[in-house]
Every structure is written in structure tokens, then in C-alpha cells.
Amino acid sequence: MFFLHLCKLRQKLRAAIAAHLLVSLCVFSAAADTGVRTHKFRGQFVVDEFLIKARSAEAIRALSQEFSLSFNAQPILQTSDGQWYKVTDTSGSASFDELRAYIYSSSFLSENVLHVERHLLWHSLNSVADPKPDVPPRLPRRNRADPLMNKVYGVQKVQAPAAWAKTVGSENVIVADIDTGIDYNHPDLINNMWRNGREIADDGRDNDGNGYTDDVFGWDFTNKDALPWDDNGHGTHTSGSIAATGGNGIGISGVAKRASLMALKFLDGDGSGTTEDAILAIRYAVNNGASILSNSWGGDEYSKALEDAIAEAAARNVLFVAAAGNDGTNNDTLPMYPAAYNLPNVIAVAASDSEDRLADFSNYGVNSVHLAAPGDYIYSTLPEGKYGVNSGTSMACPHVAGAAALLKAYKPNLSPIEIKRILLQSVDKVADYEDKIASGGRLNVDRALSIVIAETTPEAR
């Protein structure tokens, strides 16, 4: 309790900076994810920074010499065929086009530099702020007369209560919420937070030698510290849909009543983060035992570096669940990444409403979007111990991550490919989705668990 109290004091320093935001979250309506994604950051990248994949460090040194030793290079991801570096041009003299042209003109570099790309920014899938935040949110049509039903329709729609008769989840299943952080002192989340038992809290040492000091709940890659506190609200809301504690007499229950939520903050208070920090968050999750990654963020530019990081997670038996995007467009022709990566461990999730229609803001794609889940007016947890309603594929994605956690709890040796197959095979078919979503349906976790049980021999559990 002393550690939690100390964290609370330290968090208040950061929270004070965003006090106006937290005040608005007290009346959080369908403000952050309803409608079309703003294009303010479309195509945005970090100036004077590049991501370069090279066969050896010699190639990076050769580039540095060509540009007058103005490069600082930081390795961020090792793959089977090379090393990714974040390269900073400290002089600001090298444009992206000049850098690529020089690489292609050099026989040594063209053979030893495998890829070069801009250092992209990624964003939570938000719309502009609600111009009337004090107006209560509109309830789904079917449930307007029953506010309680509105609060829980997401978990009810996916048949989570029936699934809980089979399993409520397990603390041994670690789900990393890669987002804006989590209010890990929230009364509906605190008992389901992952805790790094190999780390001694707040002693200023990296006790477990994983490269991160005092990382008890996870890590903040934005502020480079061990307090992945949510100064936006998005990550706490998605975490509640994954695994808010069930049966505690307060608030809500996530799809998984029990799981271990790992807080990995790579999006800042404005909901933006870099490719480097996304990759580092994925690496941290994989290296520290997470088997499911929930990702309610995206962008419309392709990153080979990010794709490699997700592929490396696949090689380590880790599932990657991603929000399909809020543009209302076809990901087959206008891809939204990371959901659009064609990798075996990626599940791309569209948003459905309370009447099982595809939400008007939701992206779709019969080849690239795999299933739908409730994402319209979802009631969940918010910072400072609060609750509120939000909408978007951001809200649909964690329902699927929570469902995957239940399957993994029942049968721990399920692979990402098996989980993906079962979740897609078990959907409730919806005519509206037939030519828009690969599975043609909406998540049904109880049916998915029934398939797992039918396919599981006693010794396989």
C-alpha cells in the first residue's frame, strides 16, 4: 500500500499538467473515438530521424561518414536478417530522399542496408473532441430505456457471461495493453494488474536485469520511466474492456474477469507515439511474458520496422490484436496499420453496435479485417477511478483481446494461429458483414470456448 501511495503522489505531478483533460474525462462521453479519424497527423513523421535496417553496424558508420559524422544510431530491434537502428541526423542536413539516393548509389550500402524509412508517428484512433461534453451520451437504440443494459451490452453481446461458467480467466495470462497507459490504481483494475515479481519497487535498481529500472507495472516509453500512468484516458478505457475485475461488487467486468494487465505506455497525453517506442513496447511485452497484445492505435503509412517487430512477436508465440480504424473505409484498398499487416498472429477488429450493425465509423475489409466486436458506446474504466462511455474500433479491439485471454486461460498452450482460427470460426454470422469482414461475423467468446473444450483432451490442458 505504501508503494501505491507513493506512486499516487508522483503521478499527481504528471497529472497536474493534464488537469484540464482529466476534468473533461469526469464527464467522458462518446468524445474520443466517435466518427472519422482526424487527419491532423496523417503522414506525420519525426523530423531528422530515420529507421534503417542494416546487415552490420559498418553500413551505419559508412552513412555517418558520408554525412560528416552527424548521425547518432540507436539499435532498436534485432531480426534474423539484420538490425534495425533509429538514426538521428543531428545536423539536420540529410533529407530522406538524399539518404535513400546515397544508399542506392553505393554498391556497399545497397547490399548492406536492407530498408530505410521515415520515423513515423502513430495515434490512438480518436476523433475531435465532443463540442458538448456535458451532454449525456446517446444510448444505443435498443437500450435507451435501460442504462444498466447500456453499460454491459458489450460483454453480454459477445456471450461473456455464458463463457464465465467455463472459465473466468487466469492471472497467468498476461495481456499487454499498448496504449496511453493505465490508471493502475483504479479500484476495478488494481487487482488484475500485472506485477513484475522480479523487481523491487522504487529502489532505483534494475533488479531483474531486463534493462528497465523499477518496472513493477510495466513501462512508460514516452517519458522513459517506470510509471506508465494514463494521462489521456484511452488506455484505461481499453484495459477495462479487456479485464476489469469481475465479481467485486463495483463498476464493470471485462471480457476476462481475471487476467494480468501489463501497462505499456507509448502514446503520450495527446495520443501520439513513435515507431521506435511502439517497437520497444512490443519487445518489452514479449520479453516479459505477455502472450496477448492489445493495440487500439494506428496510422495509414506502412512501416517495415513495425511489421518486423510484430513478426518477431509471432515467432515468440504472441498474439497481436489490432483495431481496424475509424475512417469508415476499406482496409483492403486503403490499409490502416498495424491492423492491415498480413501476418499470422494479427487479428484486425471492426466495431459493431448494439444491434449488430457495422458501426458507421468502422473500417472493414473482406480480406484484411477478421471479425467485429462491440465498439459503439462502450462503458468502461477511466483514470482517477472513474467510468465513462466511448466508441471506436479502439473499444472493439480489447473485447477480442479479453476473449483471447479466456481461451488462453482454459488451454495455455494455444498458439496465436489456433486462437485466431477459433475466434474467427466461432463468430455469430451477420448478413451485414458477409462481404465486408473475413469471418462474416461478430465475436462470440462462449462459442469459441466451446470449440476449445471440444478440441481439448484432458492431458492437453
The residues assigned a catalytic role are 179, 234, 394
Provide CB contacts within 8 A for 315, sequence distance 6+.
none
Q: In whole angstroms, what is the distance from residue 282 CA to residue 192 CA?
A: 20
Contacts 24+ apart (CB under 8 A), 284-288: 284/176, 284/210, 284/212, 284/218, 284/219, 284/221, 285/174, 285/176, 285/178, 285/313, 285/318, 286/312, 286/313, 286/316, 286/318, 287/210, 288/174, 288/196, 288/210, 288/262
Q: How far is CA 205 from the centre of its chain?
A: 28
| Residue closest to 242 by CA, chosen among 226, 219, 258 | 258
One-letter amino acid for residue 107 of the chain: S
Compute CA distances 43 → 64, 120, 173, 273, 330, whole Å: 26, 8, 36, 13, 18
Q: In whole angstroms, what is the distance from residue 65 CA to residue 71 CA?
A: 9
